[in-house]
């Protein structure tokens, strides 16, 4: 063993370091310039610097003596050991948190009435009596698939199982395009307000009429439709706006924005179809006329869902190699590219204003933002963008912050989507400011 170590230090150490630095450099270039078309260059510059420094070091190492190489190898080995020990510790800690959450949601929870089944378990049970039941499938499910079309909605005309944060699983009957609306709302030639966004726009974890769209419809008496879907980021939201605002006359658009939408943009830029919406303002998939294809693709996804859910429970070795748990902790994994968000929002505003419509932006704060004494950097960055683009907006952030019962906006005063109370209050605020 000692002889092998000596041989490794003398003949292989420098060569391996050189090879690794070149692989890292090539991989970084591929990600930055080919996968993301240079859109995330500011983020990948740190990897360029690391790979370049590593390459310079590898060249220098050819001229170092044996003892120096041994010390360097020991140093880096110790660092790697510490990093991977921390990462696997975080994995087990996450498992502990999940288990703790299932057994004790919060001090306010009525355990007897809280449905602790998984969404998949609910789905399997409900479809025994009614095979039309489906599970909501985010467009994010298709991001990495090589498809001719990219669905931006769910399965149409189906009872859709959504999520559970208040003790019950929310279920809605999807419309003709797979969104959470009354289907006959699409019969009108004019949409008074079109709501764009992610799960908050979709009405996460509450039933109608407790979602924002239903609340605004009741208060205003106007025709309001939402095309939001869980997991959506700015680029998918813009693409959905392009697709579904083209089939009806739209007077107003309300863009509901949640802070995690910022990170969603990174995965969206990988998709070749989504990038076309930014490169060509006339590009369209004509999804409104391809719902049968979307339904077929979604049903195929559902058939493989169980296997994927089981896989999630297992240890992710590839993610372990990438130190995903540690990177998530220090928020290094995701790049917050506000320049691209600004570009996407400017395109959306331009699209609606060309149709003589009004464009509104609403930043929805998270539990952590409301619970924190400091204003979040994400909120400050988005405020700056909205000001620069001169977009009309409603300040929901300060509205909730100023409430004495601000944590009641969230189910059981815990992290998640909004409660019935939260959606109602926010809906009333939007109505007062815009309508």
pLDDT at 317: 57
Counting as low any pLDDT under 50, the low residues of the chain are: 101, 104-109, 332-333
d(CA 165, CA 103): 14
Tell the residue number behind the tokens 């696997």, with chain if given.
Answer: 88
pLDDT, tens only, 107-144: 444 555 788 888 989 999 999 999 999 999 999 999 98
The beta-strand segments (E) located in 166-275 are 171-173, 190-196, 224-226, 249-258
- Provide the β-strand partners of residue 173: 159
SS3 271: coil
Whether pTM exceeds 0.95: no
pLDDT at 278: 92
d(CA 399, CA 133): 38
pLDDT at 280: 94
pLDDT at 74: 81
Q: Which residues of 102-120 are buried (b: 16+ CB within 10 A; e: fewer)?
A: eeebeeeeeeeeeeeeebe
d(CA 178, CA 288): 10
pLDDT at 104: 44
pLDDT, tens only, 3-33: 766 767 766 778 888 888 888 888 888 877 7
Show Cβ contacts of residue 14 under 8 Å, excluding neighbours closer than 6 positions: 58, 61, 62, 69
Q: What structural domains and CATH numbers belong to the chain?
A: 2-102 (no CATH), 119-434 (3.40.50.1110)
Q: Which two tokens stand for residue 367?
A: 């539990």
pLDDT at 308: 62
Sign (positive or negative) of CA dihedral 191, 275, 280, 351: positive
Q: How many CA atoms lie within 13 A of 218 on its CB side?
A: 11
């Amino acid at each position: 063993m000692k002889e092998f170590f000596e041989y490794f230090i003398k003949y292989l150490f420098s060569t391996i370091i050189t090879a690794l630095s070149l692989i890292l450099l090539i991989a970084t270039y591929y990600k930055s310039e080919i996968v993301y078309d240079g859109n995330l260059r500011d983020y990948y510059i740190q990897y360029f610097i690391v790979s370049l420094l590593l390459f310079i070091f590898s060249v220098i190492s050819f001229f170092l003596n044996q003892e120096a190489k041994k010390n360097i190898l020991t140093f880096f080995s110790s660092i790697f050991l510490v990093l991977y020990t921390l990462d696997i510790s975080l994995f087990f800690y996450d498992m502990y948190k999940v288990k703790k959450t299932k057994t004790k949601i919060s001090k306010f929870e009525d355990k007897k009435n809280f449905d602790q089944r998984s969404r998949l378990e609910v789905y399997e049970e409900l479809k025994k009596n009614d095979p039309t039941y489906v599970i909501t499938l985010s467009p994010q499910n298709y991001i990495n698939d090589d498809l001719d079309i990219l669905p931006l909605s769910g399965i149409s005309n189906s009872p859709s199982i959504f999520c559970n944060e208040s003790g019950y699983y929310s279920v809605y009957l999807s419309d003709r395009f797979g969104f959470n609306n009354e289907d006959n709302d699409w019969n009108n030639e004019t949409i008074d307000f079109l709501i764009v966004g992610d799960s908050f726009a979709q009405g996460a974890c509450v039933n109608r009429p407790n979602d924002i769209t239903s609340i605004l419809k009741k208060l205003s008496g106007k025709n309001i439709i939402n095309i939001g879907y869980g997991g959506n980021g700015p680029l998918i939201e813009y693409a959905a706006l392009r697709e579904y605002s083209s089939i009806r006359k739209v007077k107003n658009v309300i863009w509901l924005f949640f802070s995690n939408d910022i990170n969603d943009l990174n995965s969206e830029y990988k998709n070749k179809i989504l990038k076309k919406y930014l490169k060509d303002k006339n590009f369209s998939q004509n999804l409104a006329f391809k719902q049968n294809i979307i339904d077929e693709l979604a049903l195929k996804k559902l058939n493989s869902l169980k296997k994927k859910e089981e896989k999630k429970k297992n240890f992710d070795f590839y993610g372990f190699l990438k130190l995903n748990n540690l990177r998530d902790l220090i928020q290094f994994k995701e790049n917050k590219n506000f320049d691209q968000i600004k570009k996407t929002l400017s395109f959306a505003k331009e699209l609606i204003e060309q149709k003589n419509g009004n464009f509104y932006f609403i930043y929805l704060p998270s539990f952590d933002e409301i619970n924190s004494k400091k204003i979040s950097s994400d909120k400050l960055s988005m405020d700056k963008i909205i000001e620069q683009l001169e977009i009309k907006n409603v300040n929901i952030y300060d509205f909730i912050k100023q409430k004495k019962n601000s944590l009641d906006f969230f189910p059981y005063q815990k992290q998640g989507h909004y409660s019935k109370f939260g959606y109602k209050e926010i809906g009333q605020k939007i109505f007062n400011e815009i309508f």
